[in-house]
Structure 1
């Protein structure tokens, strides 16, 4: 089945009409009704991400010593096996994705990876549809979606670390694509409640009501997973590029820029452009709170700086969502570019810089003290008329603000 070509469209000002940030003043930004808020679950093909595959008996050992997160769960049993699996042909239990990063030896960010373990044959029905499949020679596979803009250098870096490890690292970007399913109706669900439809279908023509995938023992089994970073980000998955993923409604597929806006609202950076490659300190980009770092897994590349910074306690700079406005509060669109410096007008000192910009919104890496001391003191260097209003996402732990004693006015 060919991918759907119908896209959900929004007005140009869409990315600046929805104001859900929590500001340091006693009042929140006005809550405007938008097309986004009433659109229901949206889906975006993430062209900014590519898919790679790790294959071989040393895959977990190799990645465990390299990445910031604990990947040993991929080697653990996944619940009880059943003789009759639900239709379509997806496992009754599966390991959720793992979000992780590859760092420099000095602990600076290089690349992020979303790791997925595909269902093995014994977790699916055989070709007769009467019992679990068996394939004693089936290789151990892990897939990962990664930043497409640095794909070649990431593959080169991984192969340099491989040495004599029995693991193959392949570019399968032509065969698989990464998708995100997100929106207000998904983010409002309770943390422990899965979306039933997403949890019960694999890839193919939606729900397989005729049971053909199970009865034929086909290679279905790719499915949506909760985004491993935050519940409010929705669902994520990789799917064969030549088919349409399940739950991709005709009028709900939308441009990836809308997913970028959704992430900006939540204060989440992604990829080696938004998380500056070779420069970013992972904890300043909130990677620990985004479930990308394990502090008890043992050694990995760059661990020393991460552990030292974590145990020191206070992170003085963080990535935050920001809004660009005039002196009288009107939104300023397309006037700010990534890399622009943000100045604290009270002290005249640099408060941080703009990391990502989309319309009148963006992400900024700001000193916490300057960002949340009081409102109206931040502006773009060289553009005094453009003010910067930082926001605090709802998912932030309260102790992040208590560390700086500037938290009294947050909602």
Structure 2
């Protein structure tokens, strides 16, 4: 039986329209994702970092006939636009808010087929995350869902989000951007590139955001994850029974953990199991 295909509007996301003759070179020198090579029909995941290499804002780059949309957190759109204006200098780039609605089409653990009509872009992170829609209506034969249901699907897949990494706190590799096609290590310079490339090149990645299962309600953000009396990480976002934690790989993997005295265990998703296994070895 095929999985139910679900459609949801994402109230937490909004758009910035970027255009002008220099838009590609402008973004290329700023964000973690490559934009010099055209990729129509794909929402390319990436981020703008601090010069020290910490995550400021996540984004998706969605190409249009003239320029691109940046699909960003709605609450951070104004701040990100201000940051882009600072970097613009003499580049021939136009930056403006765009109120086109952002939606998503997904199917639980499966990968839905490409929907008909314009306005759709494949989520560049994982096939299971489906399609992002821009100014689209709900396709026939799909089921309406809330954004909370989309967040639940991401949690089941072990995909962290802005609630987990915050602003100017986390390195993108700790938030798995490298495993979710969010960093191009061959594109050349971008803001924060030196620290990011060094972490990857040295292969010394001690901490990652991983899904964690536990009993009872979600612990408070920042609650310690323990292995015995040793700190193995801290809780981030979550719901009853499951959440995301930033954990030390050398202590958390395969260990009997506790959170607020309750038994807990890390569950490494299939899409990152090989990489995490190598890093913890």
TM-score norm. by structure 2 comes to 0.93
Residue by residue over 1:190-231, the C-alpha shift from the partner in whole angstroms, topping out at 9 and shown as x without a partner, is xxxxx15x1xx22xxxxxxxxxxxxxxxxxx32x23210011
Distance 2:161 2:89 in 1: 29
Matches within 5 A, 1:188-227: 195-196=113-114, 198=115, 201-202=116-117, 221-222=118-119, 224-227=120-123
Aligned pair partner of 2:226 in 319, 343, 362: 343
Residue by residue over 1:63-93, the C-alpha shift from the partner in whole angstroms, topping out at 9 and shown as x without a partner, is 000001110123xxx8xxxxxxxxxxxxxxx
Distance 1:55 1:101 in 2: 18
Aligned pair partner of 2:233 in 347, 352, 356: 352
Residue by residue over 1:92-144, the C-alpha shift from the partner in whole angstroms, topping out at 9 and shown as x without a partner, is xx4422111100000001011111112x3xxxxxxxxxxxxxxxxxxx22112
Question: C-alpha displacement at 1:184, in angstroms?
Answer: 3.3
Residues 40 and 185 of structure 1 are in contact (CA less than 8 Å); yes or no, is this contact kept in structure 2? no
Aligned pair partner of 2:153 in 243, 247, 262: 262
Aligned pair partner of 2:274 in 385, 395, 398: 398
Distance 1:254 1:338 in 2: 26
Distance 2:140 2:35 in 1: 29
Matches within 5 A, 1:57-96: 57-74=21-38, 94-96=40-42
Residues 239 and 245 of structure 1 are in contact (CA less than 8 Å); yes or no, is this contact kept in structure 2? no
Distance 1:248 1:285 in 2: 34
Structure 2: segments with no counterpart, 5+ residues: none
Structure 1: segments with no counterpart, 5+ residues: 1-36, 79-93, 121-139, 190-194, 203-220, 326-331, 406-411
Distance 2:275 2:146 in 1: 36
Question: C-alpha displacement at 1:185, in angstroms?
Answer: 6.4
Aligned pair partner of 2:251 in 359, 367, 370: 370
> Which residue in 2 is equivalent to 1:231?
127
Are 1:319 and 2:209 an aligned pair?
yes
Classify the secondary structure of the residue corresponding to 2:32. coil
Are 1:47 and 2:11 an aligned pair?
yes
Classify the secondary structure of the residue corresponding to 1:61. helix
Distance 2:164 2:20 in 1: 32
RMSD, matched Cα: 2.0
Residues 269 and 363 of structure 1 are in contact (CA less than 8 Å); yes or no, is this contact kept in structure 2? yes
Distance 2:109 2:31 in 1: 33
**Greater per-residue strand proportion:** 2
The structure with the larger Rg is: 1
Residues 56 and 166 of structure 1 are in contact (CA less than 8 Å); yes or no, is this contact kept in structure 2? yes
Are 1:151 and 2:34 an aligned pair?
no
Residues 320 and 390 of structure 1 are in contact (CA less than 8 Å); yes or no, is this contact kept in structure 2? yes
Name the structure, 1 or 2, with higher relative contact order (CA <8 Å, separation 6+). Answer: 1
Distance 1:305 1:288 in 2: 13
Classify the secondary structure of the residue corresponding to 2:110. helix
Are 1:179 and 2:103 an aligned pair?
yes
Question: C-alpha displacement at 1:333, in angstroms?
Answer: 2.5
